[in-house]
């Protein structure tokens, strides 16, 4: 079964304007399925998976290989496995007589981003493919199953709950033991695993690097490096604080979120919705689910959070030009705006304010605050 990805149309448009289109995202999020679907519309297209030795060897002399296939679409999967190929792609992209279009995918290692940005500036368009958003999967799975399993296709589309659980645990193990090494990152799997699990318990909280360093016995530098690795590979989101020009003492450290709730629940050893409901991380898990969906849906807006020392707080700010949208996430069917949220709205003179809660239908509250469920909010036009 193939579920339509919202990003597909953007990728197809990019192919007509840019010689190179890059689809970046975590492992197993559906990048390969997407490019194979697109390449099926081009009968002479070439698909190479660089994790397969038989495909990788074909690019031993990449320049000659490309010159043998003019006027074609060439799809290269997991391109971070061959970082030296970027200058060759640049030279082919600049040769208009070759008329070659490239779609490349990568699981977003720092090396991939550095190489491509240096070598392909002005020739490449980037798109981020996340695990499934709620709007892509709502007609196939219940909201509770989506929440507990997360959005990775194999996890969410499995008809077997136990298989979904096992797949996510295996994903975590493979990421730590194989993927990080394939990204060219030299780090102990045990060290990264300990930090990742600790971050799952701190999900939705302000990052305190010194506290993490003391708890884990790592240096501050190592903790920052490890968190950067998890962020570069799309496992965590480091949400920056919004610094407004107001007479308030603002929190300066970022907040940390695990980007996929299925992976979050596996790290917390939560296997069912009943277990989640009684867990201390129930609220922060819902916050993760909402924030990741909203940031991906409104990708042209800059995401931040806002918090002052006196308790004024907004979970998520979407900022675009001089427009500011305030969003609070509450895993309740009877949400009420907190005093801190209402004070923060006044602090920033926001344009619109929303609470995303587990309600059936949208309705207004005082102070021009609107309440939406996540599904309906994702279908709005800000």
Specify if 3 maps to a domain: no
CATH assignment of the domain containing 74? 3.40.50.300
DSSP letter string, 268-300: TT--SHHHHHTSTTHHHHHHHHHHHHHHHHTTT
Of 128, 156, 178, which one is at a domain's C-terminal end? 128
H/E run at residue 238: strand 236-239
The verdict on 158 and 301 lying in the same domain is yes
* Residue ranges in the chain modelled with pLDDT below 50: 1
Count of structural domains within the chain? 2
The verdict on 150 and 124 lying in the same domain is no
For tokens 């997991």, the residue is 78
Res 191: pLDDT: 92
Specify if 2 maps to a domain: no
Res 37: pLDDT: 93
Res 38: pLDDT: 93
The verdict on 53 and 167 lying in the same domain is no
Specify if 237 maps to a domain: yes
Specify if 109 maps to a domain: yes
Specify if 148 maps to a domain: yes
DSSP letter string, 87-118: HHHHHHHH-TTT--EEEEEE---HHHHHHHHH
The verdict on 140 and 115 lying in the same domain is no
CATH assignment of the domain containing 290? 1.10.10.10
Using alpha carbons, list the distances in angstroms from residue 314 to 7, 302, 318, 320. Answer: 28, 14, 11, 16
The verdict on 331 and 371 lying in the same domain is yes
Any bridge partners for residue 300, and if so which?
none
Residue 301 belongs to what domain range? 134-378
8 A C-beta contact, residue 85 and residue 51: no
Average pLDDT in the chain? 93
The verdict on 74 and 154 lying in the same domain is no
Specify if 69 maps to a domain: yes
Task: Report strand pairing: 20-24 vs 124-128.
Answer: parallel
The verdict on 49 and 140 lying in the same domain is no
Res 6: pLDDT: 76
Give CA 344 to chain center in angstroms.
Answer: 27
The verdict on 76 and 153 lying in the same domain is no
Of 81, 101, 128, which one is at a domain's C-terminal end? 128
Residues 84-118 pLDDT 10s: 899 999 999 999 999 999 999 998 765 666 777 78
8 A C-beta contact, residue 325 and residue 372: no
The verdict on 206 and 92 lying in the same domain is no
Specify if 70 maps to a domain: yes
Of 90, 110, 128, which one is at a domain's C-terminal end? 128
The verdict on 77 and 178 lying in the same domain is no
The verdict on 20 and 143 lying in the same domain is no
Specify if 1 maps to a domain: no
The verdict on 280 and 142 lying in the same domain is yes
SS3 26: coil
């Amino acid at each position: 079964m193939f579920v339509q990805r919202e990003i597909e149309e953007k990728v197809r448009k990019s192919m007509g304007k840019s010689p190179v289109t890059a689809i970046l995202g975590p492992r197993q999020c559906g990048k390969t399925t997407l490019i194979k679907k697109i390449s099926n519309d081009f009968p002479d297209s070439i698909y190479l998976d660089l994790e397969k030795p038989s495909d990788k060897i074909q690019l031993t002399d990449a320049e000659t290989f490309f010159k043998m296939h003019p006027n074609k679409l060439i799809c290269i999967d997991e391109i971070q496995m061959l970082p030296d190929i970027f200058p060759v792609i640049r030279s082919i992209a600049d040769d208009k007589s070759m008329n070659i279009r490239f779609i490349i995918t990568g699981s977003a290692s720092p090396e991939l981003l550095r190489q491509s940005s240096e070598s392909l500036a002005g020739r490449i368009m980037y798109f981020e493919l996340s695990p499934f958003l709620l709007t892509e999967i709502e007609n196939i799975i219940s909201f509770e199953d989506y929440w507990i399993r997360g959005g990775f296709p194999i996890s969410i589309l499995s008809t077997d709950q136990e298989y979904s659980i096992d797949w996510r645990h295996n994903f975590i193990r493979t990421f730590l033991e194989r993927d990080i090494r394939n990204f060219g990152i030299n780090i102990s799997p045990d060290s990264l695993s300990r930090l990742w699990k600790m971050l799952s318990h701190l999900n939705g909280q302000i990052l305190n690097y010194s506290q993490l360093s003391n708890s884990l016995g790592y240096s501050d530098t190592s903790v920052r490096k490890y968190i950067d690795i998890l962020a570069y590979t799309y496992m965590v989101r480091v949400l920056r604080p919004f610094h407004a020009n107001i007479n308030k003492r603002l929190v300066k450290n970022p907040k940390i979120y695990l980007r996929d709730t299925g992976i979050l629940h596996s790290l917390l050893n939560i296997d069912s919705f009943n277990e989640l409901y009684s867990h201390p991380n129930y609220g922060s898990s819902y916050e993760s689910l909402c924030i990741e969906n909203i940031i991906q849906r409104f990708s042209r807006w800059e995401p931040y959070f806002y918090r002052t020392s006196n308790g004024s707080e907004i979970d998520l700010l979407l900022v675009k030009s001089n427009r500011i949208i305030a969003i609070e996430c509450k895993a309740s069917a009877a949400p009420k705006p907190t005093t801190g949220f209402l004070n923060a709205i006044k602090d920033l003179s926001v344009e619109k304010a929303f609470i995303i809660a587990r309600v059936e239908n949208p309705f207004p509250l005082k102070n021009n605050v609107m309440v939406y469920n996540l599904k309906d909010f994702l279908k709005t036009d800000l």
